Each structure stands twice: as structure tokens, then as C-alpha cells.
Amino acid sequence: MKRTALALLAALLLLAGCSTGGGSDDSMGAADYDAAAQGAIDKAGEQAESGGAAGDAGTSHSDVGPQAYLVREAQVGIKVDDIMDAARQVREIADAAGGSVTKESFGDGYYGTAGIEEYGALTISVPSDGLDDTLARLAEIGEVQSRSSNAYNVQDEYIDVEARIATLTASIDRMRDLIEQTNDIDQIVRLESALSARQADLDSLQARLNALKSSIAMSPVEVRLTMTGDLGASSTGISGAFSDAWNAFLTSAGLLVRTVGALLPWIIVGGLGLWLLIWLINRSGRRSPKTPGPTPADGPARANPRPEPEQGPQPEEPTSGQGPTATP
């Protein structure tokens, strides 16, 4: 912290000297002032990052053990006699521990339509220092079928984010001081642009630090409730295979019944519409006029009469009293 204060004091003295020299000596232009200001910012920033951040980390976290940066979570599966009553007890336990219920669901695809009454899952968030007591109280609801917990350390990330926040905060304060001391419009525009970018980075880091603090302070617990003892998970072995096959058959049958039930009204309406359309077509066909056929006086029509064979010249018959004419 002393190095940071000295760096800030040196930057302010340098800026004051630059502004005084600029007022008394006309040879120092805006470019010289800009370079001097940028050099002061860079120098102070390097000192803050190398000395100040490390000093803060050393003084703030040296006396804190790694247990203070543990993120803990747990899962527990319990067989109960009544799902809804057990869910009510889980809510009461979370409220008594100073936590809350973040998620809950009843039934799943494994059990089919009967799952709502046989399976439930709740996720509660409780203070990390009371996690063990909460798990012990949850075990009193019914028969514990499974239990697991997990913890991981976020100390390195926590310290890194905290140090970067301290560095950015000091840099933003220095840039604001520079904006107040300068009267150059171009420099003010550049400084404000850089200030906005660093402020956005600071907000992002602050949000990340808050999320880490929340993860450390509160622990999520997933509570699975069941009345069958399998916790909604597939069993192993031959009996498990038959059980899974039977549950899959029941699920498929239930899906088929629901599908038919949903389509049945449309099938009935479509069938009535088709029957009405066919009836209208047949009725219009009966009312259409008939084409008149041939009358009986005309007689049956001759279709394709056979042509008579052509006859050649007939020989002349001899007259009476004359014999045949002799041929010379």
C-alpha cells in the first residue's frame, strides 16, 4: 500500500510540474503534456500491479486458510413413504438453516405417468458452515439410499480477481484526477474513453467476485425423494434390465394412449365430413337427367353390316326357237 501511495504522489507531482511548466513555458505543447501524462499513468500502473497488488494479497490473505475458499455441494437420495410430505419437510429444513429452495420437480420420464406420486427432486441452498447439520436433518426424513458431497478450492481465482479489482480501482481514480487537471479537450476525450473501458472491466470483475463469494457462502444440496428405492435411476443386472424394459413398455403404452386420445376427436370429425361428402356426391348423381335411347320403331341398330359380294355380268339367255349360235 505504501508503494501505491508513493506512486500516486509521484504521478500527481509530475502532473503538477507539467501543468506549471506548460503555463510558464510556451515551448511545451499538447504533445509533451500528453506524453508526460501517459508516462505517469504507465509508471504508476506498473508500480501498483507489481507492488500494491502483491502487498494487498500478502496482507489480506496471509492469515486466511484454504478452508475459507472452499465451494461445497452435496447430493442425497432418500426413500420415503409420502413424496409430498417429505418435500414439505425438506422446505422446512432449508428455511430453518437460513437457506431456500431453488428448484423442485416431481415425476420424470423413467416412471411415466405414475412418477409424480413416486419420485421428487428438490435443490436447496444452505449456508456452507451449516451443510453438515442440514444433511443430518435430511437423513431423518426417511431411509438414506445414497449420499455424496464435493468440494473444490477457488482461492487462486479469488485472490487474482480481488487483486485485479484493486489495480483497476486505483487506475480509475488516477484517470479521474487527470481528467480534472487537464483542460485539453482531446486529452479529456481520450481519458474518458479509456476510463469507460476500465470501468466496464471493473464491473465484470466485481460481478465475478460476488459470484465467488456467493458460491463460498452458500452450498447447493440436491435432494432426491423416492418411494420405490431406485431413485429414478436404471438398475443393473438381469432384474434391472427387465425392470427397465417393463417401465419403457408402460411409458410407450401411455404415450400411445395419449396420442390416440388426442387424435380421436379429429378422426371422428374427419370421418363424418368424408361420409357427408360421399352422400352428397351420390345424391347429385341420382338427380342428373338420363340420355334418351333408340325407340322401338327404329328397330335394332345394325352395327357394321357385312358388304354383299360383287357379281359379274350375267350370260344372255337364248331366245325361243333359236339354237345356240355356232361359232365359226
* Rounded CA separation 98/130 (Å): 9
Q: Which amino acid is it at 328?
A: P
**DSSP code of 98?**
T
Q: Which three cell numbers stand for residue 255?
A: 404415450
pLDDT of residue 6: 43
The answer to whether the CB of 74 falls within 8 A of the CB of 149 is yes
* pLDDT, block means (10 residues), the chain with 328 residues: 44 45 40 47 48 45 68 92 91 93 76 62 92 93 90 91 93 90 88 91 94 93 83 58 74 84 89 88 72 53 53 53 47
pLDDT of residue 26: 39
| Alpha carbon 94 to chain centroid, angstroms | 28
**DSSP code of 67?**
G
Its pTM stands at 0.51
pLDDT of residue 99: 92
CA atoms within 13 A on the CB side of 98: 9
Strand ranges (E), 11-157: 70-79, 100-106, 119-127, 143-153
Q: What is the pLDDT of residues 299-318, one digit of tens each?
A: 555 545 555 555 555 555 55
Pairing of strands 70-79, 218-226: parallel
Q: Count the helix, strand and coil residues of the chain and give each as a percent rounded to the nearest 5.
A: 60, 15, 25
* Rounded CA separation 191/120 (Å): 57
pLDDT of residue 7: 46
* Rounded CA separation 94/137 (Å): 10
Q: Which three cell numbers stand for residue 199?
A: 470501468
The C-alpha cell 511545451 sits at 28
Q: What is the pLDDT of residues 141-164, one digit of tens each?
A: 999 988 999 998 999 999 999 999
Instruction: Provide the b/e sequence for 153-179 (b: ≥16 CB within 10 Å).
Output: ebbeebbebbbbbbbbbbbbebbeebe
pLDDT of residue 292: 55
pLDDT of residue 311: 56
> Beta partners for 152?
71
